[in-house]
């Protein structure tokens, strides 16, 4: 059916899987047209739609996608020591989607940690902002930036033993500019485009905290300024000469999402498998997703391409 209104104003709304088109015509008549649409076509899932925490693979450069048929380029993720393989599902929003058991294996233990960029990220949400600092619980009001919903144990992090107590332990993951940095204007998403997404936010440390002050670490993931960034006579939040790559962290709000790069990708992936599919049922979501910026406008979130599950 074709309907034409002279000098009309049209408003579109989404209500439960139904597109409501409200048309107010020149003669003050109001017409409501309801069209049921397929949300798979109307709204492709993007990074911001995914649950947190989740393990993200940036397929834009990881598989060197050059053709429109990305399904043929997505590998299975293999952990040889555990003899575990995660196979990709490409039509993730289709209940009848099939697992690609013919995908070629990518050995997660062969990742070169010395390369200047990463294709593997941990997607997390802010659950406490800077203004939510808790006196006598958090370490320092001057250093505290945010708490995120990524527990250090999920990164493959191993707590220091008694023998390591006097040794400085490395952070289990590092905060980076990220795949969807929309904080404080366009400067940051421009810097984080492409390989810039894995650029570190200097001076910011992700660590575990003793929130309950009982001498035991509490598996809470905290973002804070490093002690080295705190200089005598200056604020801990003073920006270093880093192209403002860490200044945006000051403005994180409740519900914002950030991305981190795990120190050990293979160990981290194993932790996601253990947490979300402990019994190896295969049908459960491991929260391991592949995204790409191919076909997306600059500054937008990457779109979801696939999900990996146990075979």
- Domain 45-310 in CATH 3.40.30.10? The answer is no
pTM for the whole structure: 0.77
Domain ranges of the chain: 9-40, 45-310
Is residue 128 within 8 Å of 204, Cβ to Cβ? Answer: no
- Average pLDDT estimate for 193-204: 83
**Greater confidence, 300 or 155?**
155
Question: Partners of 54 in the beta sheet?
Answer: 123
| Residue owning tokens 């192209």 | 243
pLDDT digits (tens, 9 = 90+) for 106-149: 999 998 877 778 899 999 999 999 999 988 788 888 999 999 99
**Greater confidence, 1 or 55?**
55
Where b means 16+ CB within 10 Å and e means fewer, 187-200 reads: ebbebbeeebbbbe
Distance CA 181, CA 201 (A): 12
Distance CA 232, CA 124 (A): 32
Distance CA 62, CA 74 (A): 9
Distance CA 277, CA 88 (A): 16
pLDDT digits (tens, 9 = 90+) for 11-56: 434 443 334 344 444 333 333 333 333 333 334 799 999 999 999 9
Out of 2-6, 125-129, 155-159, 278-282, the most confident range is 125-129
Distance CA 76, CA 19 (A): 37
Q: Which run of H or of E encompasses 62?
A: helix 59-62
- Of the pLDDT bands very low, low, confident and very high (cuts 50, 70, 90), residue 186 is low
């Amino acid at each position: 059916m074709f309907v034409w209104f002279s000098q009309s104003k049209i408003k579109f709304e989404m209500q439960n899987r139904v597109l409501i088109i409200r048309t107010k015509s020149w003669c003050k008549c109001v017409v409501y047209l309801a069209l049921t649409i397929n949300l798979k076509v109307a709204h492709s899932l993007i990074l911001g739609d995914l649950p947190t925490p989740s393990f993200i693979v940036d397929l834009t450069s990881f598989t060197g996608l050059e053709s429109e048929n990305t399904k043929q380029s997505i590998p299975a993720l293999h952990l040889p020591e555990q003899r575990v393989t995660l196979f990709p599902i490409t039509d993730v929003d289709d209940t009848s989607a099939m697992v690609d058991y013919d995908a070629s294996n990518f050995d997660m233990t062969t990742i070169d940690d010395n390369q200047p960029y990463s294709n593997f990220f941990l997607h997390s949400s802010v659950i406490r902002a800077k203004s939510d600092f808790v006196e006598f619980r958090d370490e320092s009001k001057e250093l505290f930036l945010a708490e995120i919903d990524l527990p250090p144990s999920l990164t493959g992090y191993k707590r220091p033993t008694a023998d390591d107590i006097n040794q400085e332990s490395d952070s289990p993951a590092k905060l980076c500019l990220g795949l969807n940095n929309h904080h404080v204007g366009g400067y940051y998403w421009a810097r984080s485009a492409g390989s810039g997404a894995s650029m570190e936010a200097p001076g910011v440390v992700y660590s575990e905290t003793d929130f309950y002050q009982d001498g035991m670490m509490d598996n809470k993931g905290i973002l804070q300024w490093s002690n080295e960034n705190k200089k005598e006579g200056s604020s801990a939040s003073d920006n270093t000469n880093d192209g403002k790559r860490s200044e945006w962290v000051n403005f994180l709000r409740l519900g914002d999402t950030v991305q981190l790069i795990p120190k050990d990708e293979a160990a981290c992936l194993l932790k996601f498998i253990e947490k979300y599919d402990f019994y190896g049922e295969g049908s459960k979501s491991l929260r391991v997703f592949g995204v790409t910026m191919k076909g997306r406008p600059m500054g937008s979130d990457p779109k979801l391409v696939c999900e990996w599950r146990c075979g």
